[in-house]
Structure formats: structure tokens, C-alpha cells
């Protein structure tokens, strides 16, 4: 245990951890946060490198959701990993973090129906089934527009999307990432295939649990040809309502998914178990402890945790790491603040979350007593 951990109120949270051979200096993970600073060409840049480097005291960083293809787009100015320029941009970010000895994974993302034809030259977004998000509007390159009904992927099209995931993983490997996280949460494409609310298919990708899991399985099997299992994570959100999700059979679905993922002996399972973003109320929520019953490998909790609840989850054996999202927005030195029991900065203004430029991104102060702040401004 490090001195920082032993002298803190949160010794378990701040203790080091071996993630499948990747040493983590603490168990505080920076969650993937969609911040929309990559510009219209979706190329990671110096401002993004500064933002991540400021937060390099995290045990590990999961870089923001990154689209695997043009078809996967659905968020303005979010980064991509499907061309040479994007790959080179990410390499600069990775190199900056490795200089601080901070491991970084890349979250691979396809928005599916959480998109709009304005992102795709007038062509509809794709999903498991032609079921529209029940919501008001989506931010598009043409402004706020109503959600549209997506087009169901044809059976023989699924393989091409799996190939996009594989190509993205290859680029992530060349860019130097320590691993990848497969985004199968929050109502995006893989989650749309997994959940019965959005998957009404009658082919081999729909119906029974095994069929609904098939797409995710094929993505994992292909990425395993690029990264070893210990360098692959998967994110699930069993309780979430984001992007109009929540299935009556959610407990059965996510228990099955966790059991199947366990067979791959992946680096970690990342579960958005907290209810801070809402709960679909289809039954009792699935907490991280329930996943411990069916998961042998490392578990990461997420959503609404603070230092005390994170410490309790880890010291109680329910989780191995906790990912923090919003607290990292306005506290680049979040780990040091936990270690020294320093007060956190006021929460970031939501208007700056996806706004361009440094405001609300790289301009948050480090604690005045943090004399060894990395990247201090």
C-alpha cells in the first residue's frame, strides 16, 4: 500500500491494483466522458491531451466514447478512431499519459439509433430494430431535431459493423492504448441488440438471450485477435434509462451477459450500477454486488459514487475499481483531493460540458495545497 493510501480515510480506494499485469497506482478510474472537443473532423488534439494529462493521477483513464466508423456517429464533435489522422491524434494523447505513467483504455462506440440522418447524409441511423427513441430532440449538425425511426441492420450487415470494431481496435493498438473498452451500455448500438426493449429481431441476432448477446460476442472474439483478454473491458448499464432504455427482463438479460462475459476472462467488467442518471423501475436495481456473484475477474462500479461509497464498495469486496465521471470534470486533481480530504471544486456548468474550447475543460483550478500537481494551471 502506498503512503498516500495508508495515511488516507480511503485506504482501499487509494491502494494500488494489478489489472491483468497493468499496474494501477490507485483504484480511482476516470470514466469515459463525452466532451465534444475533437472538432468536425473528430481528430483528438492538443487541448484534449492537456485535459487528460491534468487528470493523470487517476489509476487509469478510460478515454471518452470514440466512434468506430462514420456510420457510428451520433454526437457533434466527438472523436473517432477510423482514419489515420484520428489515430495519430490519439497517439499524442496516449504518449502524454504514458509519460505520467498512467494507463489509458479507449472506449469503442457506435451510437446506433441514438443518432440522426443529419449525421449520415440523409440516410437513417441503424439499430437492432426499427424502434424510435421516445424523446424530444437530438443535437445534430443541423441543430436540434426530433428523433427519427432507425433502420434495422440487415443480418448480413452485422459482419461489416463487427469489422469496424476490429479495425478500430487495430488503430487503438497502433496508437499505443493499453486496452479498449467495448461500449455496450447507455442505449447505444450493442446495448440496443442486447436489450429486449429495442431488439425485436427474428434472425440469429434476436429473440433468446444467446441470440441477443451474439453481436457483442462476435465483437469480443474479433478484438481478441488484436488485444489479449486482460486488455479488453466491457461496459454494461443494467439500470439505466439513458436513450430510452429499460427492459422488463433486464435482470435476466444482464445476469446472462455477465456470465457469458466471465467466460472470456476479460480485463474487467464496467457496470454502471448507480442510479444518479435515473432508473427504469422495471424491478429492483442491480447493484455491483450482484455482479460479483457471477464475475470472477475485476469489477468496476460507476455512477454517483463519492469517496466514501467507493471505499465501502472496494473494502467490502464488491468492486475492485470505481470510475468517477462528473467529479473529474471540475477536479483535475480528484485523487489528491480524496487522499488529503480536500474540498472539491464546485460542479462544472453543464453548458460547458460539450461546448468548444478550454472553458469548463482545462481551466479548473488544482487545490492550492497541491504543490506537486501535474499539469497545474
| 0.75 exceeded by pTM | yes
Range of the domain at 218: 3-352
Instruction: Classify residue 106: in a domain, yes or no.
Output: yes
Instruction: Classify residue 107: in a domain, yes or no.
Output: yes
Q: What is the DSSP letter of 350?
A: G
Active site residues: 188
Cβ-contact 79, 120 below 8 angstroms: no
Instruction: Classify residue 347: in a domain, yes or no.
Output: yes
CA 131 vs CA 119, 164, 202, 253, 315: distances in Å:
18, 23, 15, 19, 42
Cβ atoms within 10 Å, residue 135: 11
pLDDT at 371: 73
Cβ-contact 128, 151 below 8 angstroms: no
pLDDT at 375: 43
Instruction: Classify residue 362: in a domain, yes or no.
Output: no
Which domain CATH number covers 234? 3.20.20.70
Instruction: Classify residue 280: in a domain, yes or no.
Output: yes
Cβ atoms within 10 Å, residue 149: 14
Residue 319 Ramachandran class (φ > 0 left, ψ -120 to 50 alpha, else beta): beta
Beta bridge partners of 277: none
Q: Say how many domains are in the chain.
A: 1
- The contacts of residue 185 (CB under 8 Å, 6+ apart) are 191, 235, 236, 237, 240, 270, 272
3-class SS string, 147-206: CCCCEECCHHHHHHHHHHHHHHHHHHHHHCCCEEEEECCCCCHHHHHHCCCCCCCCCCCC
Q: Which helix (H) or strand (E) element contains residue 334?
A: helix 334-340
DSSP 258-318: HHHHHHTT-SEEEEE---TT----SSS---HHHHHTT--S-EEEESS--HHHHHHHHHTTS
Angle CA(340)–CA(341)–CA(342) in degrees, nearest 5?
90
Q: What is the mean pLDDT of each run of 10 residues along the chain (377 residues)?
A: 70 98 98 96 98 98 98 98 98 98 98 98 98 95 97 98 98 98 98 98 98 98 98 98 98 98 98 95 96 97 97 98 97 97 93 90 94 54
Cell 440522426 found at: 116
pLDDT at 169: 99
Instruction: Classify residue 369: in a domain, yes or no.
Output: no
Instruction: Classify residue 374: in a domain, yes or no.
Output: no
Instruction: Classify residue 359: in a domain, yes or no.
Output: no
Amino acid at each position: 500500500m502506498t503512503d498516500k493510501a495508508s495515511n488516507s480515510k480511503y485506504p482501499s480506494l487509494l491502494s494500488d491494483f494489478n489489472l491483468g499485469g497493468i499496474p494501477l497506482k490507485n483504484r480511482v478510474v476516470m470514466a469515459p466522458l463525452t466532451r465534444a472537443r475533437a472538432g468536425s473532423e473528430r481528430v483528438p488534439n492538443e487541448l484534449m491531451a492537456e485535459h487528460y494529462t491534468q487528470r493523470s493521477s487517476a489509476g487509469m483513464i478510460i478515454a471518452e466514447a470514440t466512434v468506430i466508423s462514420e456510420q457510428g456517429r451520433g454526437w457533434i464533435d466527438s472523436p473517432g478512431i477510423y482514419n489515420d489522422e484520428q489515430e495519430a491524434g490519439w497517439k499524442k494523447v496516449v504518449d502524454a499519459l504514458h509519460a505520467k505513467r498512467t494507463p489509458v483504455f479507449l472506449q469503442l462506440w457506435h451510437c446506433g439509433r441514438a443518432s440522426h440522418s443529419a449525421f449520415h447524409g440523409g440516410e437513417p441511423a441503424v439499430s437492432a430494430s426499427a424502434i424510435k427513441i421516445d424523446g424530444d430532440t437530438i443535437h445534430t449538425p443541423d441543430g436540434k431535431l426530433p428523433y427519427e425511426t432507425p433502420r434495422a441492420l440487415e443480418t448480413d450487415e452485422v459482419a461489416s459493423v463487427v469489422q469496424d470494431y476490429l479495425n478500430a481496435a487495430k488503430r487503438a493498438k497502433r496508437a499505443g492504448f493499453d486496452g479498449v473498452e467495448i461500449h455496450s451500455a447507455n442505449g447505444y448500438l450493442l446495448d440496443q441488440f442486447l436489450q429486449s426493449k429495442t431488439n425485436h429481431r427474428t434472425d440469429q441476432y434476436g429473440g433468446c438471450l444467446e441470440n441477443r448477446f451474439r453481436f457483442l460476442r462476435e465483437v469480443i472474439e474479433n478484438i481478441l485477435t488484436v488485444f489479449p483478454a486482460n486488455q479488453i473491458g466491457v461496459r454494461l448499464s443494467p439500470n439505466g434509462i439513458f436513450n430510452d432504455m429499460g427492459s422488463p427482463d433486464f435482470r435476466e438479460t444482464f445476469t446472462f451477459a455477465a456470465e457469458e462475459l466471465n467466460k472470456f476472462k476479460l480485463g474487467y467488467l464496467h457496470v454502471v450500477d448507480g442510479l444518479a442518471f435515473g432508473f427504469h423501475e422495471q424491478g429492483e436495481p442491480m447493484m455491483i454486488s450482484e455482479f460479483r456473484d457471477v464475475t470472477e475477474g475485476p469489477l468496476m462500479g460507476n455512477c454517483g459514487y463519492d469517496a466514501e461509497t467507493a471505499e465501502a464498495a472496494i473494502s467490502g469486496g464488491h468492486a475492485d475499481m470505481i470510475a468517477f465521471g462528473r467529479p473529474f470534470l471540475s477536479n483535475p486533481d480528484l485523487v489528491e483531493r480524496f487522499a488529503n480530504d480536500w474540498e472539491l471544486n464546485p460542479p462544472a456548468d453543464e453548458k460547458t460540458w460539450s461546448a468548444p474550447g478550454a472553458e469548463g475543460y482545462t481551466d479548473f483550478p488544482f487545490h492550492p495545497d497541491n504543490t506537486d500537481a501535474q499539469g497545474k494551471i
